[in-house]
Structure 1
Amino acid sequence: MSATLSGAAVALVCVVTLALSLFALRLARRTSDFYVAGRAVTPGRNAAAIGGEYLSAASFLGVAGLIYDQGVDALWYPVGYTVGYLVLLVLVAAPLRRSGAYTLPDFAEGRLESRGVRHLSSVLVVLIGWLYLVPQFQGASFTLRLVTGAPAWLGAAVVAVVVVLAVAAGGMRSITLVQAVQYWLKLSALAIPAGMIVAAWWAAQAPPPDVSHSWAQPFTGRDPDEHHLYRTFSLIVALALGTTGLPHVVVRYYTNPDGTAARRTTVRVLALLGAFYVVTVVYGVLGRVYLPVLAPGDRADTVVLRLPGEVFTGGGAEILTAALAGGAFAAFLSTSSGLAVAVTGVLNQDLVRPRLARLTAGDHSEVTGFRLATVLAVLVPYAVSLVFPQVPLAAFVTLAFVVAASTFFPLLALGVWWPRLSVPGAAAGLVVGAVLAVGALGLTVRSGARDGWAAALLAQPAAWTVPAAFAVMVTVSLATPRGIPRGARRTLVRLHTPEEITAQTTR
């Protein structure tokens, strides 16, 4: 019975996702509808859509699992995820919208007037997007297997098929509606069972969690030689600055009508994320009450799905588990859809469309290329997810944040605020940031036995890779003044001039 209810909840979420996509299909007629939803999304709907795509498997399942496993040190994950939007609000939200770009590579090319920097940015967008997509597919696989007993490959396959159909149907126009609805679906699916679990714990007067000293005290961990203070600081740097460089986050700001709406969107996002992450703490803490020890082979990521069955019995537990399974799949679908749109836009502009242009022409070629690129954007990370080793969801997603913080954050911050950024400086910073971040993380995966400072610096490299990328961009730019775009100052004026003033001067 439990498997049937959970399977039905997952199926219902998939059907609703496809139905909303088909409903929005009639609105997607122009190229801008597929890329930026016609630049007509209101702040309220855009904030809900951002919350829908940003609160991924790492947020729905992974944060609670990390709190369950690591204790108070894991609370920095939701803090870092949320603070990232404050950084984005202060530094780049409005200028990004005023750039008039469709994608991050569009912004890079427009700001630096360089096709080379554009192509480099395109490679990084695809890399970050696929790094983020792999854990979504893996999370869907183990979630469906846990609640229904389905084969390990089925969950990822369901997400891949639904995402391809939803994104290909109407691009950003359809995904915006889907993600806005899915945010509220995820919040309800997580908050209602959490409220009932807290009420049951309170009524039963159950004892508080029986935990070790390291679980309840910050910066301690299991091994004092792991340099937890540095690891925590570097984690916050990665999450807070990496948010600004995530392609699927940045692209949503191109959908607002103007820069003012982009700022209002960000303020609403902060409130929506705060409400969601408060609930995840409940599962991590009370998991220690009702599930003090996981069975051999179980992952901490499964605590959210297992907790109702430990607190309640019979039909109540089955219904709550089914609701959580449906909410988890909403997280997989909404985040995967946003990532697919961001990667699809880049693949279409730089890879698929140039080849289709020889066969077709006009807007038809654009839309056809977008839909073909969607298949490529989803199938590659789906295939990787089937063979890549299982890693805790939140930890895996952090890899994408580290790469984004080490590459796109310096590019956006300097590109928006520093007129002396040159083409060689930007390119060198992107390459150095990407090589250092990917190299450090790759060494960590290959040599997990390394300990001490070496392990800390490689496992959480953002604290030194981000400054290194900044230093390279600034140093090389100062050394190559001839590489500064001729229209740099004019571009910066446009990025920082409110639309109201621009409209008055053009009358």
Structure 2
Amino acid sequence: MNPTLGLVALFVVLAATVGFGVYGLRLSRATSDFYVASRQVSPLMNASAIGGEYLSAASFLGVAGLVLAYGVDMLAYPVGYTAGYLVLLLLVAAPLRRSGAYTLPDFAEERLGSTAVRRVASVLVAVIAWLYLVPQLQGAGLTLQTVAGAPRWAGAVVVAVAVVGVATAGGMRSVTLVQGFHFWLKLTAIAVPALFLLLAWRSAGSPALTGPDVPHFGHTTVVRVQDPVRFDVRSPVTVQVRGGLDGLAHGPAGERVQLGDGDHTVAAGAELTFPAGAAVPHQVDLTPATGAQWAAPLSGAGGRSHPLYAVYSILLATFLGTMGLPHVLVRFYTNPDGHAARRTTLLVLVLLSVFYLLPTVYGALGRVLAPQLLLTGQTDTAVLVLPQIARAGLGGQLLAALAAAGAFAAFVSTASGLIVSVAGVVAQDLLRGSTRGFRWASLAAGVPPLVMATATSGLPVADAIGLAFAVAASSFCPLLVLGIWWRGLTDLGALCGLITGGGLAAVAVVVTSVRGPGRGWAATLLEQPAAWTVPAAFTVMITVSLLSRHRISSAHVDRVMLRMHLPEEVGGAQQRTP
């Protein structure tokens, strides 16, 4: 990728982000502007903003990378990401908007009358947001490294500074403008190169996307390695080597080396030239699917254990976790009324359905146009590098720069929403809900994920964000569904369910992140915990609530339930101002 064009594209995105943030500051007059944009955001603008913050690193980079490596089973992610809004539309959007709450902890306290439940909900908001933020910052580092060869921490720092600046400048007003702009930028940045990629694939004779074995290089291919890689060779091959390989240095003129079966280690900065038709080696920790597995559902692609359980657990996490994401839910508080909240959700479904067709195209074409990504392990960069690989010259460089701009927009818009959601909770609970407190909270909210992102290498971005969805599905999904639709939920039941579901999922996330992928049932249950943590949370909430029915205040519950379920013109829902 041309570093100059890439950096120019990133600069334009950041400049536009700062510009919208400054403009939002001019529009922000009252405290409610910082928290919910005075509840005056139109459905189309709100849907664009939700799409902007929801289409994160996992959507723009991670889905394509997982499809490239593991095949059709990974379509569970985009299906779940989109279908989650159907549940949100049917069960949550309008009642939550009518509740009058500004944050999830607000809703918990208003519905249950418990400060203890509010505190636990506040902690979970921060945990989920930080789990979601870390892969955004790591994706930013990967993008800047791919574009300009910068160290990975640099991209994380740039995005963290930008989003904290936007949040402190104008709060929700600024963030809404930024995210709406970023959605349409991302859709353009992924759709235009995809069209040229399809044309390149057709002009190459439409080579088959699958085969009986691992992918093969379609032509003589030079693989440049940015970081040290240990890869596995299944079929002996003779390559031209420049740089370090298996502990030996090879001069700039290059040397022919026979790679035998087994593991090999290549140093950073080395170049390996593979002949046409050679089988593509793969990074040792990657274990990609063969052609037959790649196209077959539930085939255990990539050596993943118990694929049926894993796919259904991913679907459950993404399907139910969407309603528990604090940065998504806070956007529904910005709608004028419950009807507008439903219209917003319908528009989001349309926008996401269009977008999620495209990462799948990149993942599929990456098998034939850029199989070397399986060797380097950088499958998450497929969207960034495919345009230039498929189209040489200035045209390919411009398309790659456009894709890089879209990727950075994904990180900035998602991170902005997460920072605002955490800052709103911290400012309300600890800093008395003032505008100045919101700004200090925005700064504090960005520090922990930045430290975690720069200190760890992390999982593939879609896998990492899937774990955040699992925590959300295991905590806030039961709280919202039962709190909105069952008057029998008690404060004690909600408290025990949040701690059980959220705690178990959080422990699974920590163990998986520290240990990495594993084999067998124990590893599978920890890597995809939603299938057992969500039922556990619902069971505990319902059981404890039934045993503590005496704690229900009928008058308070009736008042809150009427407010949530009667239309505004009938119920006269009260809207609170911080």
Q: Shorter-chain TM-score: what band?
A: over 0.9
Between 1:449-458 and 1:181-190, the stretch displaced more is: 449-458
Q: Report deviation, 1:224.
A: 7.1
5 Å-filtered alignment, 1:179-194, equals 179-194=179-194
The answer as to 2:557 corresponding to 1:488 is: yes
* Aligned match for 1:474, one of 537, 542, 551: 542
Contiguous gaps of at least 5 residues in structure 1: 355-364
Match of residue 312, structure 2, among 230, 233, 244: 233
Match of 2:237 in 1: none
1:28 & 1:142 partners in 2: Cα distance?
34
Do 2:73 and 2:297's aligned partners in 1 also have CA atoms closer than 8 Å?
Answer: yes
Tell me the residue number matched to 2:447: 379
What's 1:215 paired with? 294
CA contact (8 A) 1:432 1:472 kept: yes
Query: Which 4+ residue blocks in structure 1 deviate beyond 4 angstroms?
Result: 446-450
Change (3 A) 1:225 1:139: closer
Residue 42 of structure 2 aligns with an amino acid whose one-letter code is T
Aligned equivalents of 2:401 and 2:34: distance in 1?
33
Evaluate the alpha carbon distance shift between residue 461 and residue 81 of structure 1 in structure 2; reply closer, same or farther with a 3 A threshold. Answer: same
**1:293 and 2:372 equivalent?**
yes
- For residues 120-162 of structure 1, the C-alpha deviation after alignment (integer angstroms, 9 at most, x for no partner) is 1000000000000000100000100111112222111110111
Give the Cα–Cα distance (whole angstroms) in 2 for the partners of residues 93 and 101 of structure 1.
12
**Equivalent residue number for residue 246 of structure 1:** 325
Query: Contact 2:458/2:464 (CA < 8 Å) preserved in 1?
Result: no
Alignment of 1:255-274 (within 5 A): 255-274=334-353
Q: Report the CA distance shift for 1:457/1:203 in structure 2 as closer, same or farther (over 3 A).
A: same
Following TM superposition, by how much is the alpha carbon of 1:490 offset from its aligned partner in structure 2, in angstroms? 1.7
Q: 1:465 aligns with which of 533, 536, 544?
A: 533
Tell me whether 37-46 or 209-218 shows the greater mean CA deviation: 209-218
Distance 1:90 1:247 in 2: 18
Please give the per-residue CA displacement for 1:353-411, whole angstroms capped at 9, x wherever unaligned.
15xxxxxxxxxx70110000000111221111111233100000011100000000000
Larger deviation, residues 402-411 vs 200-209: 200-209
Q: In terms of Rg, which structure is larger? A: 2
More displaced stretch, 493-502 vs 38-47: 493-502
Q: How far off is 1:191 after superposition?
A: 0.2
**How far apart are the structure 2 equivalents of 1:33 and 1:257?**
13
8 Å contact kept, 1:113–1:485: no
Q: Tell me the residue number matched to 2:482.
A: 414
- Give runs of aligned pairs for residues 18-57 of structure 1, distance below 5 A: 18-57=18-57
- The Cα of 1:449 is off from its aligned counterpart by 7.2
1:362 aligned residue: none
* Distance in 1 of aligned mates of 2:414 and 2:143: 16
Name the SS of the counterpart of 1:226 in structure 2.
Answer: coil
Stretch of structure 1 that moved more, 215-224 or 404-413:
215-224
- Identify which range, 327-336 or 284-293, moves more after superposition: 284-293
* 1:407-455 CA distance string (max 9 Å, x none): 0000000000000100100000000001211222333345557532222
Instruction: From the two aligned structures, give the one with the greater helix fraction.
Output: 1
1:69/1:430 Cα in 2 relative to 1: closer, same or farther (>3 Å)? same
Aligned residue number for residue 369 of structure 1:
437
Q: Which residue of 2 aligns with 1:400?
A: 468
Matched, 1:283 2:362: yes
What letter matches 2:409 in structure 1?
A
Q: Residue 424 of structure 1: which of 492, 498, 502 is its match?
A: 492
Cα deviation 1:188-238 (Å, max 9, x = unaligned): 000001011112222332312244211110001247771111110111000
Structure 1 residues 220 and 105: CA distance shift in structure 2, 3 A: same
Percent of matched pairs sharing the same residue: 55
Going from structure 1 to structure 2, the CA distance change for 1:504 and 1:326 (only over 3 Å counts) comes to closer
TM-score (norm 2): 0.83
Deviations 1:47-88 (A, max 9, x none): 000000000011000000011011000111100000100000
**Is the 2:210–2:294 Cα contact (8 Å) retained in structure 1?**
no
State whether residues 135 and 464 of structure 2, in contact with CA within 8 Å, keep that contact through their aligned partners in structure 1: yes
Measure, in 2, the Cα distance between the counterparts of 1:401 and 1:286: 28
Q: Which is further off, 214-223 or 86-95?
A: 214-223
Name whichever of 464-473 and 149-158 sits farther off.
149-158
Q: Which residue of 1 aligns with 2:130?
A: 130
Aligned length: 494
Deviation at 1:496, TM superposition (A): 0.3
Counterpart-to-counterpart distance in 1, 2:472 and 2:3: 38
Alignment check: 8 A CA contact 2:70 2:302 kept: no
Give the match's secondary structure for 2:180: helix
Comparing 488-497 and 52-61, the one that deviates more? 488-497
C-alpha RMSD of the superposition:
1.6
Q: 1:504 to 1:256 in 2, by over 3 A?
A: closer
Q: Given that residues 99 and 573 in structure 2 are in contact (C-alpha distance below 8 angstroms), is that contact kept between their aligned partners in structure 1?
A: no
Contact 1:215 1:221 in 2 (8 A): no
Tell me what 2:81 maps to: 81
Kept in 2, the 8 Å contact 1:423–1:485? The answer is no
